Structure 1
Amino acid sequence: MGRILGLCFKFAFWLLLILIAAIVLYRFVPAPSTLMLGRWLTLRSVEREWVPLAQISPNLIRAVIASEDQRFCSHRGVDWIELNAVMEDEDGPSRGASTLTMQTAKNVFLWPGRSYIRKGLEIPLAMAIDFAWGKPRVIEVYLNVAEWGEGLFGAEAAAQRYFGKPAARLTTAEAARLAAALPNPLLRDPAKPNRALQSAAARTQRRVGQLGTLGDCAVPG
Protein backbone atom coordinates (compact mmCIF):
# COMPACT_ATOMS: atom_id res chain seq x y z
CA MET A 1 0.00 0.00 0.00
CA GLY A 2 2.80 2.38 0.93
CA ARG A 3 4.57 1.67 -2.34
CA ILE A 4 1.41 2.46 -4.30
CA LEU A 5 0.94 5.73 -2.41
CA GLY A 6 4.56 6.64 -3.07
CA LEU A 7 4.15 6.01 -6.78
CA CYS A 8 0.97 8.13 -6.79
CA PHE A 9 2.77 11.01 -5.09
CA LYS A 10 5.66 10.76 -7.57
CA PHE A 11 3.24 10.74 -10.48
CA ALA A 12 1.40 13.78 -9.11
CA PHE A 13 4.69 15.58 -8.50
CA TRP A 14 5.97 15.01 -12.04
CA LEU A 15 2.58 15.89 -13.52
CA LEU A 16 2.66 19.19 -11.62
CA LEU A 17 6.17 19.92 -12.91
CA ILE A 18 5.07 19.18 -16.48
CA LEU A 19 2.06 21.50 -16.12
CA ILE A 20 4.24 24.30 -14.73
CA ALA A 21 6.72 23.84 -17.58
CA ALA A 22 3.90 23.89 -20.14
CA ILE A 23 2.39 27.04 -18.65
CA VAL A 24 5.77 28.78 -18.86
CA LEU A 25 6.43 27.46 -22.38
CA TYR A 26 3.02 28.47 -23.73
CA ARG A 27 3.56 31.99 -22.45
CA PHE A 28 5.94 32.38 -25.40
CA VAL A 29 5.22 29.76 -28.08
CA PRO A 30 2.03 28.84 -29.98
CA ALA A 31 -0.08 26.45 -27.94
CA PRO A 32 -2.14 23.58 -29.40
CA SER A 33 -5.43 22.50 -27.90
CA THR A 34 -6.08 18.98 -26.68
CA LEU A 35 -8.70 18.65 -29.45
CA MET A 36 -6.04 19.51 -32.01
CA LEU A 37 -3.62 17.01 -30.48
CA GLY A 38 -6.33 14.35 -30.56
CA ARG A 39 -6.98 14.98 -34.26
CA TRP A 40 -3.28 14.84 -35.07
CA LEU A 41 -2.90 11.56 -33.17
CA THR A 42 -5.80 10.03 -35.09
CA LEU A 43 -4.49 11.36 -38.42
CA ARG A 44 -7.37 13.78 -38.95
CA SER A 45 -6.83 17.18 -40.51
CA VAL A 46 -6.35 20.36 -38.49
CA GLU A 47 -6.79 23.79 -40.04
CA ARG A 48 -5.16 26.48 -37.91
CA GLU A 49 -2.84 29.40 -38.55
CA TRP A 50 -1.48 31.01 -35.40
CA VAL A 51 -1.46 34.80 -35.50
CA PRO A 52 -0.40 37.28 -32.80
CA LEU A 53 -3.06 39.31 -31.05
CA ALA A 54 -2.08 42.42 -33.03
CA GLN A 55 -3.26 40.61 -36.18
CA ILE A 56 -6.75 39.88 -34.78
CA SER A 57 -9.40 42.56 -35.13
CA PRO A 58 -10.30 44.37 -31.89
CA ASN A 59 -13.88 43.81 -33.05
CA LEU A 60 -13.47 40.08 -32.49
CA ILE A 61 -11.64 40.51 -29.18
CA ARG A 62 -14.43 42.68 -27.79
CA ALA A 63 -17.16 40.48 -29.27
CA VAL A 64 -15.78 37.34 -27.64
CA ILE A 65 -15.40 39.08 -24.28
CA ALA A 66 -18.93 40.50 -24.52
CA SER A 67 -20.39 37.15 -25.53
CA GLU A 68 -18.46 34.76 -23.29
CA ASP A 69 -17.08 36.62 -20.25
CA GLN A 70 -18.07 40.23 -19.65
CA ARG A 71 -16.03 40.45 -16.43
CA PHE A 72 -12.89 39.10 -18.14
CA CYS A 73 -10.91 42.28 -17.47
CA SER A 74 -11.83 42.47 -13.79
CA HIS A 75 -11.46 38.90 -12.47
CA ARG A 76 -8.29 36.88 -11.91
CA GLY A 77 -9.15 33.91 -14.05
CA VAL A 78 -12.28 32.81 -12.19
CA ASP A 79 -15.52 34.78 -11.95
CA TRP A 80 -16.42 33.92 -8.36
CA ILE A 81 -19.65 35.94 -8.57
CA GLU A 82 -21.00 33.84 -11.42
CA LEU A 83 -19.55 30.61 -10.04
CA ASN A 84 -21.20 31.14 -6.65
CA ALA A 85 -24.50 31.91 -8.38
CA VAL A 86 -24.29 28.63 -10.28
CA MET A 87 -23.39 26.65 -7.15
CA GLU A 88 -26.37 28.12 -5.29
CA ASP A 89 -28.75 27.45 -8.18
CA GLU A 90 -30.39 24.03 -8.05
CA ASP A 91 -30.16 24.03 -11.85
CA GLY A 92 -26.44 24.81 -11.62
CA PRO A 93 -25.07 21.80 -13.55
CA SER A 94 -27.02 22.93 -16.64
CA ARG A 95 -25.67 26.46 -16.52
CA GLY A 96 -22.25 27.76 -17.44
CA ALA A 97 -19.82 29.72 -15.29
CA SER A 98 -16.65 29.27 -17.32
CA THR A 99 -14.60 32.38 -17.92
CA LEU A 100 -12.53 32.79 -21.06
CA THR A 101 -9.50 31.94 -18.92
CA MET A 102 -11.12 28.74 -17.69
CA GLN A 103 -12.08 27.82 -21.26
CA THR A 104 -8.49 28.44 -22.34
CA ALA A 105 -7.22 26.21 -19.53
CA LYS A 106 -9.67 23.49 -20.58
CA ASN A 107 -8.83 23.80 -24.29
CA VAL A 108 -5.06 23.69 -23.80
CA PHE A 109 -4.58 21.40 -20.80
CA LEU A 110 -7.75 19.35 -20.19
CA TRP A 111 -10.37 17.29 -22.00
CA PRO A 112 -13.78 18.18 -23.49
CA GLY A 113 -17.04 17.26 -21.82
CA ARG A 114 -18.59 18.28 -18.53
CA SER A 115 -17.59 16.87 -15.16
CA TYR A 116 -16.98 18.20 -11.67
CA ILE A 117 -13.44 16.76 -11.77
CA ARG A 118 -12.54 18.73 -14.88
CA LYS A 119 -14.19 21.87 -13.49
CA GLY A 120 -12.20 21.44 -10.28
CA LEU A 121 -8.97 21.30 -12.30
CA GLU A 122 -9.99 24.25 -14.48
CA ILE A 123 -10.14 26.65 -11.54
CA PRO A 124 -6.49 26.45 -10.32
CA LEU A 125 -5.23 26.23 -13.89
CA ALA A 126 -7.17 29.36 -14.86
CA MET A 127 -5.79 31.27 -11.89
CA ALA A 128 -2.27 30.10 -12.75
CA ILE A 129 -2.38 31.14 -16.41
CA ASP A 130 -4.05 34.45 -15.58
CA PHE A 131 -1.11 35.17 -13.25
CA ALA A 132 1.61 33.81 -15.56
CA TRP A 133 0.32 35.05 -18.91
CA GLY A 134 -1.73 38.17 -18.30
CA LYS A 135 -4.97 39.13 -20.06
CA PRO A 136 -3.61 39.80 -23.57
CA ARG A 137 -1.83 36.44 -23.78
CA VAL A 138 -4.87 34.57 -22.40
CA ILE A 139 -7.14 36.01 -25.07
CA GLU A 140 -4.45 35.51 -27.74
CA VAL A 141 -4.19 31.80 -26.91
CA TYR A 142 -7.97 31.46 -26.66
CA LEU A 143 -8.56 33.02 -30.07
CA ASN A 144 -5.91 30.77 -31.63
CA VAL A 145 -7.22 27.47 -30.22
CA ALA A 146 -11.01 28.02 -30.18
CA GLU A 147 -12.92 25.57 -32.35
CA TRP A 148 -14.98 27.16 -35.15
CA GLY A 149 -15.90 24.08 -37.16
CA GLU A 150 -14.91 20.50 -37.86
CA GLY A 151 -11.11 20.53 -37.72
CA LEU A 152 -11.14 24.35 -37.84
CA PHE A 153 -9.30 26.16 -35.06
CA GLY A 154 -8.39 29.76 -34.39
CA ALA A 155 -9.61 33.15 -35.53
CA GLU A 156 -7.41 33.39 -38.62
CA ALA A 157 -8.53 30.08 -40.13
CA ALA A 158 -12.17 30.87 -39.26
CA ALA A 159 -12.03 34.34 -40.80
CA GLN A 160 -10.46 32.97 -43.98
CA ARG A 161 -12.98 30.12 -44.33
CA TYR A 162 -16.17 32.00 -43.52
CA PHE A 163 -15.41 35.50 -44.81
CA GLY A 164 -12.42 35.13 -47.14
CA LYS A 165 -10.33 37.67 -45.27
CA PRO A 166 -7.71 37.80 -42.49
CA ALA A 167 -8.84 38.03 -38.88
CA ALA A 168 -7.36 41.53 -38.70
CA ARG A 169 -10.04 42.84 -41.10
CA LEU A 170 -13.18 41.42 -39.49
CA THR A 171 -16.06 43.88 -39.23
CA THR A 172 -18.20 44.27 -36.12
CA ALA A 173 -20.99 42.18 -37.70
CA GLU A 174 -18.63 39.39 -38.79
CA ALA A 175 -16.93 39.36 -35.40
CA ALA A 176 -20.30 39.11 -33.66
CA ARG A 177 -21.25 36.11 -35.81
CA LEU A 178 -18.00 34.33 -35.03
CA ALA A 179 -18.38 35.00 -31.30
CA ALA A 180 -22.01 33.87 -31.34
CA ALA A 181 -21.02 30.61 -33.06
CA LEU A 182 -18.60 29.57 -30.29
CA PRO A 183 -21.12 27.80 -28.03
CA ASN A 184 -21.99 25.39 -30.85
CA PRO A 185 -19.32 25.71 -33.56
CA LEU A 186 -20.11 22.43 -35.33
CA LEU A 187 -23.71 23.42 -36.06
CA ARG A 188 -23.46 27.20 -36.51
CA ASP A 189 -22.13 28.61 -39.78
CA PRO A 190 -21.10 32.29 -39.46
CA ALA A 191 -21.08 32.67 -43.26
CA LYS A 192 -24.68 31.42 -43.55
CA PRO A 193 -26.26 32.30 -40.22
CA ASN A 194 -29.63 30.83 -39.39
CA ARG A 195 -32.19 32.78 -37.37
CA ALA A 196 -30.78 31.57 -34.02
CA LEU A 197 -27.25 32.65 -34.92
CA GLN A 198 -28.45 36.00 -36.25
CA SER A 199 -30.29 36.61 -32.97
CA ALA A 200 -27.26 35.61 -30.90
CA ALA A 201 -25.00 37.85 -33.01
CA ALA A 202 -27.35 40.79 -32.50
CA ARG A 203 -27.25 40.22 -28.72
CA THR A 204 -23.46 40.11 -28.88
CA GLN A 205 -23.31 43.44 -30.71
CA ARG A 206 -25.57 45.03 -28.09
CA ARG A 207 -23.36 43.65 -25.32
CA VAL A 208 -20.26 45.05 -27.02
CA GLY A 209 -21.88 48.49 -26.87
CA GLN A 210 -22.69 48.01 -23.19
CA LEU A 211 -19.19 46.72 -22.44
CA GLY A 212 -17.51 50.04 -23.19
CA THR A 213 -13.92 50.21 -21.99
CA LEU A 214 -14.32 47.07 -19.83
CA GLY A 215 -13.13 45.01 -22.79
CA ASP A 216 -10.00 47.03 -23.51
CA CYS A 217 -7.61 45.14 -21.21
CA ALA A 218 -6.88 42.65 -23.99
CA VAL A 219 -6.98 45.00 -26.97
CA PRO A 220 -3.47 45.87 -28.24
CA GLY A 221 -2.69 49.56 -27.78
Structure 2
Amino acid sequence: MTEHVPRKRRWRNALLWTALAMLVLVTIAHLLTRPPAMPDYETVRAGWKPSEAWLYDRDGRLLDSERVDFERRRTAWVPLAAINPALRDTVVAAEDKRFWSHGGVDWLAIASAARARWSGGRSRGASTLPMQLAAFLAPELAQPGQRGWRAKLRQMRAGQALASHWTREQMLEAYFNLVPLRGEVQGVGAGARSLFGKPPAQMTRTDAVLFAALLPNPAAEAG
Protein backbone atom coordinates (compact mmCIF):
# COMPACT_ATOMS: atom_id res chain seq x y z
CA MET A 1 0.00 0.00 0.00
CA THR A 2 2.82 2.37 0.77
CA GLU A 3 4.32 1.78 -2.72
CA HIS A 4 0.97 2.20 -4.46
CA VAL A 5 0.42 5.79 -3.31
CA PRO A 6 3.75 7.20 -4.57
CA ARG A 7 3.23 5.44 -7.90
CA LYS A 8 -0.18 7.09 -8.33
CA ARG A 9 1.40 10.38 -7.36
CA ARG A 10 4.14 9.96 -9.95
CA TRP A 11 1.56 9.24 -12.64
CA ARG A 12 -0.45 12.28 -11.61
CA ASN A 13 2.63 14.49 -11.68
CA ALA A 14 3.62 13.11 -15.10
CA LEU A 15 0.17 13.85 -16.46
CA LEU A 16 0.25 17.36 -15.05
CA TRP A 17 3.67 18.06 -16.58
CA THR A 18 2.53 16.61 -19.90
CA ALA A 19 -0.59 18.79 -19.89
CA LEU A 20 1.49 21.83 -19.00
CA ALA A 21 3.98 21.11 -21.80
CA MET A 22 1.14 20.71 -24.30
CA LEU A 23 -0.41 23.99 -23.14
CA VAL A 24 2.91 25.77 -23.60
CA LEU A 25 3.36 24.29 -27.09
CA VAL A 26 -0.19 25.24 -28.10
CA THR A 27 0.34 28.79 -26.80
CA ILE A 28 3.62 29.16 -28.69
CA ALA A 29 2.05 27.78 -31.87
CA HIS A 30 -0.88 30.19 -31.44
CA LEU A 31 1.47 33.16 -31.12
CA LEU A 32 3.70 32.08 -34.00
CA THR A 33 0.77 31.59 -36.37
CA ARG A 34 -1.20 34.70 -35.43
CA PRO A 35 -2.26 36.34 -38.72
CA PRO A 36 -2.39 40.08 -39.36
CA ALA A 37 -5.67 41.78 -38.52
CA MET A 38 -8.21 41.54 -41.33
CA PRO A 39 -10.12 44.69 -42.36
CA ASP A 40 -13.88 44.66 -42.66
CA TYR A 41 -15.67 44.66 -46.01
CA GLU A 42 -16.77 48.29 -45.77
CA THR A 43 -13.17 49.47 -45.27
CA VAL A 44 -11.91 47.50 -48.26
CA ARG A 45 -14.76 48.71 -50.44
CA ALA A 46 -14.34 52.35 -49.41
CA GLY A 47 -10.58 52.25 -49.98
CA TRP A 48 -10.83 50.95 -53.54
CA LYS A 49 -9.64 53.35 -56.24
CA PRO A 50 -9.69 52.69 -59.99
CA SER A 51 -6.53 53.29 -61.99
CA GLU A 52 -8.22 55.98 -64.10
CA ALA A 53 -10.08 59.17 -63.27
CA TRP A 54 -13.06 60.23 -65.39
CA LEU A 55 -14.44 63.68 -66.12
CA TYR A 56 -18.16 63.92 -66.91
CA ASP A 57 -20.33 66.86 -67.89
CA ARG A 58 -23.48 67.81 -66.00
CA ASP A 59 -25.54 65.45 -68.14
CA GLY A 60 -23.34 62.46 -67.32
CA ARG A 61 -21.48 62.35 -70.65
CA LEU A 62 -17.83 61.29 -70.45
CA LEU A 63 -15.55 64.15 -71.43
CA ASP A 64 -12.10 62.82 -70.62
CA SER A 65 -10.20 60.15 -68.67
CA GLU A 66 -6.66 60.04 -67.31
CA ARG A 67 -4.53 57.24 -65.87
CA VAL A 68 -3.70 58.02 -62.24
CA ASP A 69 -2.33 54.67 -61.02
CA PHE A 70 0.44 53.11 -63.10
CA GLU A 71 1.11 50.15 -60.80
CA ARG A 72 -2.17 48.36 -61.45
CA ARG A 73 -4.86 48.67 -64.10
CA ARG A 74 -8.28 48.34 -62.53
CA THR A 75 -11.78 49.64 -63.11
CA ALA A 76 -14.32 50.89 -60.63
CA TRP A 77 -15.42 48.30 -58.06
CA VAL A 78 -17.64 45.66 -59.66
CA PRO A 79 -20.64 44.56 -57.53
CA LEU A 80 -21.31 40.85 -57.36
CA ALA A 81 -24.66 41.36 -59.11
CA ALA A 82 -22.79 42.79 -62.13
CA ILE A 83 -20.77 39.57 -62.60
CA ASN A 84 -22.31 36.90 -64.80
CA PRO A 85 -23.54 33.98 -62.62
CA ALA A 86 -21.79 31.57 -65.00
CA LEU A 87 -18.47 33.25 -64.18
CA ARG A 88 -19.15 33.20 -60.44
CA ASP A 89 -20.10 29.52 -60.47
CA THR A 90 -17.14 28.52 -62.66
CA VAL A 91 -14.59 30.23 -60.43
CA VAL A 92 -16.08 28.78 -57.24
CA ALA A 93 -16.10 25.29 -58.77
CA ALA A 94 -12.48 25.64 -59.86
CA GLU A 95 -11.05 27.32 -56.79
CA ASP A 96 -13.17 26.32 -53.79
CA LYS A 97 -16.12 24.02 -54.50
CA ARG A 98 -17.27 23.97 -50.85
CA PHE A 99 -17.02 27.76 -50.53
CA TRP A 100 -20.67 28.21 -49.57
CA SER A 101 -20.55 25.72 -46.70
CA HIS A 102 -17.15 25.80 -44.96
CA GLY A 103 -15.95 28.27 -42.34
CA GLY A 104 -12.96 29.66 -44.24
CA VAL A 105 -10.98 26.40 -44.21
CA ASP A 106 -11.96 23.33 -46.22
CA TRP A 107 -10.91 20.51 -43.89
CA LEU A 108 -12.03 17.86 -46.38
CA ALA A 109 -9.73 19.34 -49.03
CA ILE A 110 -6.87 19.50 -46.52
CA ALA A 111 -7.38 15.83 -45.62
CA SER A 112 -7.48 14.90 -49.30
CA ALA A 113 -4.31 16.88 -50.03
CA ALA A 114 -2.52 15.26 -47.07
CA ARG A 115 -3.59 11.79 -48.19
CA ALA A 116 -2.40 12.45 -51.74
CA ARG A 117 0.95 13.72 -50.48
CA TRP A 118 1.52 10.68 -48.25
CA SER A 119 0.59 8.28 -51.03
CA GLY A 120 2.82 10.02 -53.54
CA GLY A 121 -0.12 11.23 -55.60
CA ARG A 122 -0.80 14.65 -56.96
CA SER A 123 -2.54 17.10 -54.66
CA ARG A 124 -5.11 19.59 -55.96
CA GLY A 125 -4.41 22.02 -53.16
CA ALA A 126 -6.59 23.20 -50.31
CA SER A 127 -6.34 27.00 -50.39
CA THR A 128 -9.89 28.35 -50.10
CA LEU A 129 -11.22 31.60 -51.52
CA PRO A 130 -11.24 33.21 -48.03
CA MET A 131 -7.59 32.16 -47.57
CA GLN A 132 -6.66 33.60 -50.97
CA LEU A 133 -8.61 36.78 -50.25
CA ALA A 134 -6.76 37.13 -46.94
CA ALA A 135 -3.47 36.98 -48.86
CA PHE A 136 -4.71 39.73 -51.22
CA LEU A 137 -5.54 41.91 -48.22
CA ALA A 138 -2.29 41.08 -46.38
CA PRO A 139 0.42 40.15 -48.93
CA GLU A 140 2.79 39.08 -46.14
CA LEU A 141 0.66 35.94 -45.83
CA ALA A 142 1.89 34.73 -49.23
CA GLN A 143 5.49 35.86 -49.49
CA PRO A 144 7.70 33.86 -51.89
CA GLY A 145 9.29 30.90 -50.15
CA GLN A 146 6.67 30.71 -47.38
CA ARG A 147 5.30 27.20 -47.77
CA GLY A 148 5.93 25.84 -44.28
CA TRP A 149 3.37 24.88 -41.66
CA ARG A 150 3.54 28.28 -39.96
CA ALA A 151 2.70 30.21 -43.15
CA LYS A 152 -0.14 27.83 -44.00
CA LEU A 153 -1.63 28.02 -40.50
CA ARG A 154 -1.51 31.83 -40.62
CA GLN A 155 -3.42 31.78 -43.92
CA MET A 156 -5.95 29.34 -42.49
CA ARG A 157 -6.55 31.47 -39.41
CA ALA A 158 -6.87 34.61 -41.56
CA GLY A 159 -9.38 32.84 -43.80
CA GLN A 160 -11.40 31.79 -40.76
CA ALA A 161 -11.34 35.38 -39.46
CA LEU A 162 -12.74 36.67 -42.74
CA ALA A 163 -15.40 33.97 -42.90
CA SER A 164 -16.57 34.79 -39.38
CA HIS A 165 -17.03 38.52 -40.06
CA TRP A 166 -17.83 38.80 -43.79
CA THR A 167 -20.76 37.31 -45.67
CA ARG A 168 -20.04 34.80 -48.42
CA GLU A 169 -21.26 37.32 -51.00
CA GLN A 170 -18.89 40.00 -49.67
CA MET A 171 -15.91 37.64 -49.78
CA LEU A 172 -16.69 36.50 -53.33
CA GLU A 173 -17.22 40.06 -54.53
CA ALA A 174 -13.94 41.22 -52.96
CA TYR A 175 -12.09 38.23 -54.41
CA PHE A 176 -13.24 39.08 -57.94
CA ASN A 177 -12.15 42.70 -57.54
CA LEU A 178 -8.80 42.08 -55.85
CA VAL A 179 -7.53 39.04 -57.73
CA PRO A 180 -4.34 39.82 -59.72
CA LEU A 181 -4.35 38.67 -63.34
CA ARG A 182 -1.70 38.78 -66.02
CA GLY A 183 0.64 41.75 -66.15
CA GLU A 184 -0.69 44.84 -64.43
CA VAL A 185 -4.35 43.84 -64.64
CA GLN A 186 -6.23 43.46 -61.38
CA GLY A 187 -9.80 42.41 -60.85
CA VAL A 188 -12.61 41.09 -62.96
CA GLY A 189 -13.56 44.50 -64.35
CA ALA A 190 -10.19 45.21 -65.96
CA GLY A 191 -9.69 41.53 -66.75
CA ALA A 192 -12.96 41.19 -68.64
CA ARG A 193 -12.27 44.36 -70.61
CA SER A 194 -8.65 43.60 -71.52
CA LEU A 195 -9.02 39.85 -72.13
CA PHE A 196 -12.50 39.58 -73.64
CA GLY A 197 -13.46 43.13 -74.61
CA LYS A 198 -16.68 43.08 -72.60
CA PRO A 199 -17.95 43.83 -69.07
CA PRO A 200 -18.19 40.98 -66.54
CA ALA A 201 -21.98 40.83 -66.88
CA GLN A 202 -21.67 39.84 -70.57
CA MET A 203 -19.05 37.11 -70.20
CA THR A 204 -20.12 33.73 -71.55
CA ARG A 205 -19.52 30.32 -69.98
CA THR A 206 -16.59 29.81 -72.37
CA ASP A 207 -15.14 33.15 -71.24
CA ALA A 208 -15.62 32.02 -67.64
CA VAL A 209 -13.63 28.82 -68.19
CA LEU A 210 -10.77 30.77 -69.77
CA PHE A 211 -10.88 33.36 -66.98
CA ALA A 212 -10.71 30.65 -64.30
CA ALA A 213 -7.71 29.08 -66.06
CA LEU A 214 -5.86 32.42 -65.82
CA LEU A 215 -6.33 32.81 -62.07
CA PRO A 216 -3.10 32.75 -60.03
CA ASN A 217 -2.02 29.50 -58.42
CA PRO A 218 -1.92 30.09 -54.63
CA ALA A 219 0.65 27.30 -54.14
CA ALA A 220 2.92 28.76 -56.80
CA GLU A 221 2.67 32.26 -55.34
CA ALA A 222 3.55 31.03 -51.89
CA GLY A 223 6.45 28.98 -53.19
State the TM-score, normalizing by the size of structure 2.
Answer: 0.63
Does the CA-based 8 Å contact 2:180-2:216 persist in structure 1? Answer: no
Does the CA-based 8 Å contact 1:46-1:152 persist in structure 2? Answer: yes
Q: Does 1:75 align with 2:102?
A: yes
Partners in 1 of 2:121 and 2:215 — Cα distance? 21
Aligned to 2:142: 111
Partners in 2 of 1:111 and 1:78 — Cα distance? 16
1:23 to 36, 40, 48: 40
Greater mean alpha carbon deviation, residues 84-93 or residues 62-71: 84-93
Count of matched residue pairs:
160
Q: Does 1:146 align with 2:179?
A: yes
Partners in 1 of 2:122 and 2:105 — Cα distance? 17
Aligned to 2:73: 47
Aligned to 1:204: none
Segments of 5+ residues of structure 1 without an aligned counterpart are 1-11, 33-42, 185-221
Report 1 or 2 for greater relative contact order, CA contacts < 8 Å, sequence distance ≥ 6. Answer: 1
Deviation at 1:169, TM superposition (A): 1.0
Partners in 2 of 1:46 and 1:73 — Cα distance? 30
Deviation at 1:26, TM superposition (A): 3.7
Deviation at 1:159, TM superposition (A): 0.4
Q: Does 1:132 align with 2:161?
A: no
2:92 to 62, 65, 68: 65
Percent of residue pairs identical: 34
Segments of 5+ residues of structure 2 without an aligned counterpart are 1-30, 50-68, 218-223
SS in structure 1 of the partner of residue 165 of structure 2: helix
Greater mean alpha carbon deviation, residues 109-118 or residues 133-142: 109-118
Q: In 2 relative to 1, CA 74–152 (structure 1 residues): closer, same or farther, beyond 3 Å?
A: same
Q: In 2 relative to 1, CA 77–139 (structure 1 residues): closer, same or farther, beyond 3 Å?
A: same
Larger radius of gyration: 2
Letter in 2 for 1:142: Y
1:1-221 → structure 2 map (5 Å cutoff): 19-20=37-38, 22-23=39-40, 25-26=42-43, 28-30=45-47, 45-49=71-75, 50-88=77-115, 89-90=117-118, 91=120, 95-109=124-138, 110-113=141-144, 114-116=146-148, 117-183=150-216
State the TM-score, normalizing by the size of structure 1.
Answer: 0.63
Does the CA-based 8 Å contact 1:82-1:97 persist in structure 2? Answer: yes
SS in structure 1 of the partner of residue 142 of structure 2: coil
Give the root-mean-square deviation of aligned CA atoms: 2.8
Does the CA-based 8 Å contact 2:74-2:185 persist in structure 1? Answer: yes
Partners in 2 of 1:97 and 1:112 — Cα distance? 18
Aligned to 1:207: none
